[in-house]
Amino acid sequence: MSNELKKPGRIIKAPENFIDVSLSQAITKDGLNEDRRNFLRKSFVAASAAVAGGAMLSQGALAATSVGDPLILNHTEYDQTLGLPVAANPYGVPSKYETNLVRRESPGLTQVGGASVAFSPLQGLFGIITPSGLHFERHHQGWQDMDPTKHRLMVMGMVKNPKVYTMDDIMRLPSVSRMHFIECGANTATEWGNVAVPTVQYTHGMISCSEFTGVPLSVLLDDCGFDKKNGKFVLAEGADGSGMTRTISMESALDDVIVAYGQNGEMLRPENGYPLRLVVPGVQGVSSVKWLRRIEVGDKPFDTKDEVSHYVDLMPGGMTRQYTSIQEAKSVITTPSGGQVLVGKGFYNITGLAWTGRGKITRVDISTDGGRTWRTARLETPVLSKALTRFNIDWVWDGSPAILQSRAMDDTGYVQPSINQLRGVRGTKSIYHNNAIQSWRVADFGEVTNVQIN
Amino acid sequence: MYKLTKAILFVSLSALSIAATAKDLPGIGRTALTNEIAAWDIDVRGDFKGLPKGSGSVAQGATIWEEKCASCHGSFGESMEVFGPIVGGTTTADMKTGHVHSLADGSEPKRSTLMKVATLSTIWDYINRAMPWNAPKTLTTDEVYAVTAYILNMGDILPSNFVLSDKNIAEVQKTMPNRNGMLSQLDPKNTKDFNMWKVRGKGDVKNPACMKDCIKTVEITSVLPDYACDAHGNIAEQNRHFGAVRGADKLIACDPHPSVAELNRIYNTPYHPGAVGSMKPVTFAITKPTTVAPEIADTTGLEMLKQNKCTACHGMTKKIVGPGFSEITAKYKGDSKAEAHLIDVVTNGGSGVWGGTMPPHGHIKAEYIKTMVQSILTGAK
């Protein structure tokens, strides 16, 4: 579990290049058309026969020619011209080459975009912070871009002095900034029964992690003089059409719940609840009510729609577990992952994310042989409570079939289960809380696909 | 001198501590007024705390249902076209036991609201706060009672001459089909099952975290179904075109899919490249570099239809609440008056043509409405 980068193992050199220089240049310039694709397929079969089934296409292979790389030998369009001035993009935007990694809906999952989900592109993200524009979206009745000057927060119920706060009030209060994940309770729901979707974006993309800034909810509860004896629960309610409501435990409310306005150094994005949302660390995302407008202190749970009809767990025998809030330890390898293709044999950095709603991740183990043997991965700092933790481990792919898995452990001693261990207790009718170990099959031709193993 | 320093120190320290731990927050917030609390305190709890006085009949509910609910939920509350079914899967026997049998035996694969919900208050509360879906919080209190009564009537829980009110709702609660079906993690009597509410609870699923010789054979039990192979578009366009990996533009593993038995043979046999044990002749799919810069074009009609939330109710091709755009395109093909007519309907509202009501959208700029209508009439792209 050392954080030091170990020396990688023996790096196998890329196989002989099999593409001629003019084709290489044409592909670099204009991309691949159907003719070139077919030509490359044929070349590849021939080349791979010669090198016994391993050569893959990468830019390295394309560029390494006996005459030298023209991208090195010649001047480029960038090094002999003048670049753009400062503030050409007053609010910076990603490179024009970064259009592929965006939030996406899973086709057929929902019928209307206002009551749907857009998944985060985990397959290409780095570190533990999700760019605000790529934070997953889940709305029940569409999103609104609310005028912050018209926003009010009311704290009432079992309090001595019910109060109304404006954004001016809230932003004057002592603030905290903490990194936490928000995971939808239904993340990985499609995989309860069998494999259903191809990539990590759709299997696990309902999780994101941000640095949230705001006021501890306990400050507001204290300010209103909440009933410390009988106030056992808090209701949070949104200002949007759905008026989202959820019951939150007083234990969480007084511990680490944040009434947040900041996200990754800027204000919340409208899709994430601008100008004010609740962040309930470690708990199903639906509790982190967006567009927060009301907090009510009560002595009993509130039996809201999303804790009675949804976000509950149907168990074998027909009883339904209710108020199952915690998101237990879970992890997934994001690269290489489903739908991706390895660009050649040799060295890879297997990388992924681990998290637990109960505290900190203490260890992540990786298997590349379908669970026969496991090695412990490096956890990259920071390792924070109820936040995403990035793990990495070295891997030299020799071109043989492999099955990649990750298994997280947290500081309560809990170990992320296999899908069958999970089904053994919870059955297969549940929708929520699928935190099973994910398996990615690597074929000998480099393609990675989603599988489940016993 | 010593005393003076000490005194100054004492004073400044106490000032600091007051600033750091101020319990009072002078100048922050104000007391909420009674009428403000009444306006926002709309939640209704399982014991009906918060339920306003009022009443509504099944018959009134039926009328409101046809007008405002049926287009999404179906005339009998059974529709799964837009949302999950509300009615279905419950029996009179369930009403006696308070346990929905079809949840236990799985005989009803689509779980309806009436199968799941234990607390009638939740149905009342949710209709009141969030329905109709595209015009939430527009029903009166009595209308909410009426719609609730009609749902229960469709589920054979209430007779068609019933009037539901704050006086009798607690009695009706006693007939809810799944009222005893919940295993609450908050129930203090439920001591065995306290794992998923408490932050530091122990989980209910165990894994021993074996490190080597953990399994004798790899057993693959499920692979991507054929119908899902192409369902998510071109995966090459969902990954970077450089770096450690590419996205596959077509999943070779699906084409054709090796059987689970064949995969298990491969994964439990020593691997020899190119030998019979290999998975498949190599036909490596080269991913398509998509290095083309995004077009910064003018906002298209389709984008405007999305931005103005038209697509919440209209599908591209199919009816959702209102007709699909291509259905409108087809209906008005060759009609020279269509543009002016549709601009009027969008701006001022209309009804009757498609069996529903189009609300007015006068708040949208006229030029935008014109662009969107033109886009629909020419086949929105």
Question: pLDDT tens-digit profile of B133-165?
Answer: 999 999 999 999 999 999 999 999 999 999 999
Query: How far apart are the C-alpha atoms of A233 and A239, rounded to whole Å?
Result: 20
Question: Which residues in chain B are contacts of A241 at CB distance < 8 A?
Answer: 130, 136-137
Residue B310: left (phi > 0), alpha (psi -120 to 50), or beta? alpha
Query: Which residues does chain A have within 8 Å of residue B119's beta carbon, measured at their own beta carbons?
Result: 303, 308
Instruction: Identify the weakest region by mean pLDDT among A42-51, A172-181, B344-353.
Output: A42-51
Q: Give the helix/strand (H/E) hosting A28.
A: helix A21-30
Phi/psi of residue A181, nearest 5 degrees: -85, 155
Pairs of CB atoms within 8 A across A/B: 411
Minimal Cβ distance to A243: which of B130, B201, B245 = B130
Tell me whether residues B205 and A294 touch, CB distance under 8 A: no
Q: Which residue has the higher pLDDT, A233 or B335?
A: A233
Confidence bin at B293 (pLDDT 50/70/90): very low
Closest residue in chain B to residue A245, using alpha carbons only: B43
**Beta carbons of A320 and B178 less than 8 Å apart:** yes
**Of A80-89, A209-218, A398-407, B332-341, minimum mean pLDDT range:** B332-341
Q: Which of B82, B196, B244 sits opposite A343 (nearest CB)?
A: B244
Fold held by B301-377:
Cytochrome Bc1 Complex; Chain D, domain 2 (1.10.760)
* Mean pLDDT comparison of A213-227, B177-191, B330-344, highest-scoring range: A213-227
Q: How far apart are the CA of B238 and the nearest CA of chain A, in angstroms?
A: 5
Instruction: Please name the CATH architecture into which domain B55-173 falls.
Output: Orthogonal Bundle (1.10)
Residues in chain B with CB shorter than 8 Å from the CB of A348 are 244
Got the DSSP string for B42-110? ----TT-TTPPS-EEEHHHHHHHIIIIIHHHH-TTS---SSS--SS-S--HHHHHHSS-HHHHH---SS
User: Residue B318's pLDDT is what?
Assistant: 80
Q: Which of B43, B79, B211, B295 to mutate to test the interface with A (most CBs of A within 10 A)?
A: B43
Q: Using CA atoms, how far apart are residues A344 and B302, in angstroms rounded to an integer?
A: 41
pLDDT at residue B23 in the model: 64
Instruction: Calculate the CA B204 to chain-centre distance.
Output: 27
pLDDT at B187: 86
Q: How far apart are the first and last CA of chain B?
A: 85
Neighbour-count burial for B69-96, b at 16+ CB within 10 Å, e otherwise: bbbbbbeebebeebbebbbbbbeeebbe
The answer to whether the beta carbons of residues B182 and A320 sit under 8 Å apart is yes
In whole angstroms, give the CA distance from residue A186 to residue A433: 6
Does residue B330 sit in helix, strand or coil? helix
B276, with CB counted inside 10 A (0-12, 13-18, 19+), is exposed
All domains of chain A in start order, with CATH: 21-73 (no CATH), 113-321 (3.90.420.10), 330-451 (2.60.40.650)
Contact B185 A169 (CB under 8 A): no
A41 touches chain B (CB under 8 A): yes
- pLDDT, tens only, A364-376: 999 999 999 999 9
Q: How far apart are CA A437 and CA A427, in angstroms?
A: 16
Give residue A209's pLDDT band: very low, low, confident or very high (50, 70, 90).
Answer: very high
Helical (H) or strand (E) element with B222 = strand B220-223
Q: Is A140 in CB contact (< 8 Å) with chain B? A: yes
Q: What's the length of chain A? A: 454
Do B301-377 and B55-173 fall under one CATH topology? Answer: yes
Nearest neighbour of A303 by CB, restricted to B119, B207, B254: B119
In chain B, whose CA is at the least distance from the CA of A155?
B32
Q: Which residues contact A442 (CB under 8 A, 6 or more apart)?
A: A336, A342, A397, A401, A402, A403, A404, A448
Q: Residue A231 pLDDT > 90, yes or no?
A: yes
Q: Model confidence at B14, in pLDDT bands (50, 70, 90)? A: very low
Domain ranges (residues) in chain B: 55-173, 213-291, 301-377
Q: Of A222, A318, A433, which is closest to B104 when you measure between CB atoms?
A: A318
Who among B31, B218, B266 is closest to A163 (CB)?
B31
Q: Mark yes or no for CB contact A202/B181 under 8 Å.
A: no
